[in-house]
Amino acid sequence: MKTASLVLNTACGLVALGLWGCSGKSDAVVPATGASAAAAPAGAASTAAAPVTVTTVAAQQRDLPVLLKATGTVTALTSVDVKAQVTSVVSKVHIEEGQFVKAGQLMFTLDSRTDEANLAKARAQLAKDTAALADAKRQLARSKDLLAQSFISQGALDTAQAGVDGLSATLAADQAAIDAAKVALSFDRIAAPHAGRAGLVPVSAGSVVQANVTTLVSITQLDPMGVAFSLPQRNLGDALAALKGGGAPVTATLADNGGVFKGRLQFVDNQVDASSGSLKAKAVFDNPDGKLWPGAFVEVSQTVNVLKGAVVVPQAALIQGARGMVVYTLEDGKAVSKPVQLVYAQGLDAAVTGVQPGDKVVVDGKQNVRPGVRLNERAAEPQKAASAASAPATDASKPTAP
């Protein structure tokens, strides 16, 4: 009897379970499985997706200068190694190392006794030949009188005339010898070829110097100064046009807050370096305070062109994707993806096409943005930004209505 009762109860339970499953209320009791279970949370998440908090910047239409930046080297426009032109001994040094000298200022005196003696000898020879010429002229005058009286032949007169002509030539040679002696004597007084700063002086009084070998001092012009840098081939046309207009403005910046200097482009080389695709250029800067020093490195910035009426957005707003570059804009509270073309980028700005002036471009938070997602603009003030960032979290924490 107990066995029959247990079987009867089990059968009744199965019948009741079947009737309950057909009642239409099984979705509220029996959990969903398989594909239906995966679809339900996805739909719920899409309807409850929180807006993304972002910072936007309005696209601007303005003129954007095209800047060329390069590393340049400060070079002196004029620098001369002063050497002795005669082999001699230094008698006196008239300058000090590091001294600023003027053009024509006496710097060194060499032993000039030999040259002075040669000059005196040449002058004495000139005096001797002058006296001989005067005597020859007197002899020529007598010969003319004697020829008129038929006391001498024409040949004797011609001989006297040749003596006068020869001594006249000797006199010219003597004068040339004097000039040469003066030139040699001038080499014993060494003056500054131009104004500038004297460098190291490796000689002193009593030092022997060799002609065109021994360097006495280097004179370097410090004002104005030049800066040499490389110019890309693509900017050659702009640089040549700037040269015709008097030279494009160039800015040089010294490292470690050494100062910023304004100059102008002065020179562009006549050929392009095939290995680098660039050519040499030089700009000139006023240097009254002597802050630009030969050999120093500077950052060169030159305006080679200006993009008129370009649409400018922050570079941080650009997103490089597999299909090209895009930006996200805020339209009607939602994110819109717009493909753009980069025209020129400089610093924090980028000139692009595909965006209209005034469009709100997403900058901060763009990594979380997808097309069609609702966006919350972050307030400019920190307190407002914090409240805007916390608002979506509060809304998401609330359960959705059935």
Tens of pLDDT, residues 233-270: 887 887 887 787 666 789 999 987 888 999 998 888 98
For domain 68-77+220-307, say whether CATH 2.40.30.170 is its number: yes
Q: Is residue 353 a contact partner of residue 29, using CB atoms and an 8 Å limit? A: no
Share of the chain above pLDDT 70, in %: 81
Q: Report domain extents, the chain.
A: 52-64+309-393, 68-77+220-307, 116-187
Residue-averaged pLDDT of the chain: 81
**Pairing status of strand 375-377 against strand 52-58:** parallel
Going along 269-314, which residue ranges are E strands?
Answer: 278-285, 297-314
52-64+309-393 and 68-77+220-307: identical CATH topology: no
The hierarchical CATH code for the domain 116-187 is 1.10.287
List pLDDT tens digits, range 123-147.
999 999 999 999 999 999 998 999 8
**140 phi and psi angles, rounded to 5 deg:** -65, -40
The hierarchical CATH code for the domain 52-64+309-393 is 2.40.420.20
In a 3-state reduction of DSSP, which class is residue 79?
strand
- Nearest Cα to Cα of residue 203 among 301, 347, 107: 107
**359 phi and psi angles, rounded to 5 deg:** -65, 135
Q: What is the pLDDT of residue 323?
A: 86
Local confidence band at 280 (pLDDT 50, 70, 90 cut-offs): very high
- Nearest Cα to Cα of residue 283 among 305, 255, 303: 303
- Tokens 């060499």 belong to which residue? 110
DSSP string, 304-334: EEEEEEEEEEEGGG-EEETTEEEEEEEETTE
Rounded distance between C-alpha atoms, residue 162 and residue 158, angstroms: 6
